[in-house]
Amino acid sequence: MNVALAVPQAVAPLLGALLVAAAGGFRPLFLLAAACAAGGAVALGRVRGVR
């Protein structure tokens, strides 16, 4: 369980830095983050309840 929580926290800054460097700014990074948040909200909205 620890690896499942630690690896994304270690990899995300690297991927974010690569995206900022490739795109030339922070706007694409924030747009990607907003799209992920919206996708997560849609996915959770489809959950009917807990058993």
Digit-coded pLDDT (tens) for 2-51? 898 999 999 999 999 999 999 999 999 999 999 999 999 999 988 888 77
**pLDDT reported for residue 34:** 97
For tokens 């630690």, what's the residue?
6
Higher-scoring residue by pLDDT: 1, 17: 17
Q: Are 22 and 14 in contact (CB under 8 A)?
A: no
Q: Cα(37)–Cα(44) distance, rounded to whole angstroms?
A: 11
| C-alpha atoms less than 13 angstroms from C-alpha of 5 in its C-beta half-sphere | 2
Is-above-0.75 flag for pTM? no
Decide: helix, strand or coil at residue 12: helix
**pLDDT reported for residue 31:** 95
**pLDDT reported for residue 46:** 85
Query: What does the DSSP 8-state code read for residue 46?
Result: T
